[in-house]
């Protein structure tokens, strides 16, 4: 990456209302058949254009072709029955009706590879592509086959590795695994969660990232955050082992959160995507607020390893709010970039 402090988003961006109902998760598509296929491609073009206008350096698909960051990937796999649903607790936080694993899981065909090729053909900028992480995948399913969280996660890691290798071949520069579950199941993360992640990135030459956050700005998450006290030290549990792992980049929630920023010292040496935009409020950050979060992070992260980003995905927000937040991110990063360049 040539630019200092290259900006990116954590993942999802709002979809146009002609493609899906706005401002909600699991939003139903408003098109069908060929119109839906065309609509998704047009939405990819629009989201790319908006990121570039806002000044985002590492662009993404904004998850325009998926209904949900975990479910859509799982829908493409064999061994999972979406008709046969059971109610489980997601990340110890809220109940959801989820599909059942009924046999060996496998990838029937590439999931996002055509979308990635399409995006690659539209831009020369570096592309980041998000996939769900193995531990977060198993946490959204009822397992009636492997009957072992670790075994199922390992199978998913192998499937993710197949997809990741094809995304790399399609020209993706950074492959990111979303693991909000890393903020909840600390013992499992250290026992086998990080090992599964390393299996998922095996043999990749592109950069790899893991995104660990406190979730979208939906009520179940904001209610959970209220129970976490004044200092959110969850990252402290998994950082030491992540620091030792082969993952290149760690993407984190930092702005407006109660994460003590000094915890970043525990992942010294890694590249860090610092969340400098709050996704749980419609208030637009000022560039100076963004700059302040980045300056704080710079006390613990070397400038050439700091990637300004958003706390999480922006899908549930309005397009207008998301656009303004991306502009604030880019302008805030530019302030700090100028400071670093004049200092040295
Ligand atoms: Zn997130």
Contacts of 32 (CB under 8 A, 6+ apart): none
Using only C-alpha atoms, what is the Rg of the chain? 19
What is the CA(344)–ligand 1 centre distance, in A?
A: 34
SS3 state at 45: helix
Residue where the block lists tokens 């350096």? 57
Q: Among candidates 149, 134, 142, which has minimal Cα distance to 195?
A: 134
What is the CA(128)–ligand 1 centre distance, in A?
A: 15
Helices 149-169 and 113-122 sit at what angle, rounded to 10 degrees?
Answer: 30
What is the CA(35)–ligand 1 centre distance, in A?
A: 30
Query: Which residues crowd ion ligand 1, with CB under 5 Å?
Result: 213, 312
SS3 state at 90: strand
pLDDT at 1 over 80: no
Pairing verdict, β 249-253 and 174-178: unpaired
Question: In the chain, count of helices (H) and strands (E)?
Answer: 11, 9
- For the chain, give the number of residues: 344
Strand partners, 98: 86
Question: 70-87, pLDDT tens digit by residue?
Answer: 999 999 999 999 999 999
Structural domains of the chain in order of their starting residue, each with its CATH number: 33-62+107-136+146-343 (3.20.20.210)
Question: 215-226, pLDDT tens digit by residue?
Answer: 887 888 888 888
Question: 113-168, pLDDT tens digit by residue?
Answer: 999 999 999 999 999 999 999 999 999 999 999 999 999 999 999 999 999 999 99
Q: How many CB atoms lie within 10 A of CB 84?
A: 12
pLDDT at 237 over 80: yes
SS3 state at 208: strand
What is the CA(252)–ligand 1 centre distance, in A?
A: 8
- pTM value is 0.96
Question: 96-109, pLDDT tens digit by residue?
Answer: 889 999 999 999 99
For residue 235, what pLDDT band results from cuts at 50, 70 and 90? very high
């Amino acid at each position: 990456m040539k630019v200092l402090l290259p900006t990116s988003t954590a993942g999802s961006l709002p979809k146009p209302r002609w493609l899906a109902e706005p401002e909600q998760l699991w939003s139903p598509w408003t098109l069908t058949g060929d119109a839906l296929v065309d609509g998704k491609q047009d939405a990819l073009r629009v989201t790319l254009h908006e990121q570039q206008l806002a000044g985002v350096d590492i662009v993404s698909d904004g998850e325009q072709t998926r209904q949900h960051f975990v479910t859509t990937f799982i829908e493409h796999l064999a061994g999972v029955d979406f008709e046969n649903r059971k109610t489980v607790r997601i990340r110890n936080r809220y109940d959801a009706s989820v599909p059942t694993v009924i046999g060996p899981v496998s990838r029937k065909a590439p999931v996002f590879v055509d979308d990635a090729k399409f995006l690659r053909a539209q831009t020369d900028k570096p592309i980041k592509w998000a996939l769900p992480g193995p531990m977060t995948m198993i946490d959204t399913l009822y397992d009636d086959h492997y009957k072992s969280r670790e075994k199922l996660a390992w199978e998913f890691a192998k499937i993710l590795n197949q997809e990741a290798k094809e995304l790399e071949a399609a020209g993706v520069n950074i492959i990111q695994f979303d693991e909000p579950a890393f903020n909840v199941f600390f013992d499992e993360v250290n026992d086998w969660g990080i090992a599964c992640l390393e299996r998922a990135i095996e043999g990749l030459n592109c950069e790899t990232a893991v995104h660990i956050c406190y979730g979208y700005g939906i009520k179940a998450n904001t209610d959970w955050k209220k129970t976490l006290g004044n200092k959110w030290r969850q990252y402290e549990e998994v950082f030491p082992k992540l620091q030792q792992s082969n993952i290149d980049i760690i993407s984190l929630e930092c702005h407006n959160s109660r994460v003590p920023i000094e915890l970043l010292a525990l992942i010294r040496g890694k590249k860090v995507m610092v969340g400098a935009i709050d996704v749980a409020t419609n208030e637009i950050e000022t560039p100076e607020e963004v700059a302040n979060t980045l300056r704080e992070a710079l006390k613990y992260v070397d400038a050439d390893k700091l990637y300004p980003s958003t706390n999480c995905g922006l899908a549930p927000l309005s397009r207008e709010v998301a656009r303004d937040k991306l502009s604030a991110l880019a302008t805030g990063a530019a302030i700090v970039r100028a400071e670093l360049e004049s200092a040295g």
